[in-house]
């Protein structure tokens, strides 16, 4: 196995989009707070698993980004799990500062939708 490649057993379980990505949900490890959703390819997942820093693939920039390298809002990885279908990654992190690019703690605070039953 190449030093920079994902373990083949993990790679075989992943169900990727047509562009080779899987959604990755970042969650605060101790409170369960859902922080953000980003995208990973095999290399980003490998880097996350081997560095302890959440690494994602930017679809708009076409490059890897390590959460916190520019903002200082680092995600220290505590655990990583695949869902039952292998098509989503859950990254439990210790979030330093804001997780969202808007400066908010979580990307899911700003636009709560009203639920109207019946």
Show binding-site residues for Zn(2+): 84, 100, 107
Residues placed in the known binding site: 83-85, 87, 100, 107
Residue corresponding to tokens 């949900």: 25
Q: How far apart are CA 47 and CA 7, in angstroms?
A: 11
Q: Which residues, in sequence order, are CB contacts of 65 under 8 Å at separation 6+?
A: 55, 56, 57, 58
CA distance 84 to 111: 29
- Provide the annotated binding site for Mg(2+): 83, 85, 87
Residues sharing a CB contact under 8 Å with residue 4, sequence separation 6 or more, in sequence order: 43, 46
User: 3-state class of 85 per DSSP?
Assistant: coil
């Amino acid at each position: 196995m190449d030093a920079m490649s994902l373990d083949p057993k993990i790679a075989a379980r992943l169900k990727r989009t047509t562009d080779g990505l899987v959604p990755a949900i970042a969650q605060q490890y101790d409170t369960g707070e859902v922080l953000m959703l980003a995208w990973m390819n095999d290399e980003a997942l490998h880097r996350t698993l081997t560095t302890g820093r959440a690494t994602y693939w930017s679809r708009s920039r076409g490059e890897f980004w390590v959460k916190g390298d520019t903002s200082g809002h680092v995600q220290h990885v505590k655990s990583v799990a695949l869902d039952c279908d292998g098509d989503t990654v859950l990254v439990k992190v210790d979030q330093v500062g804001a997780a969202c690019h808007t400066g908010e703690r979580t990307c899911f605070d700003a636009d709560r939708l009203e639920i109207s039953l019946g």
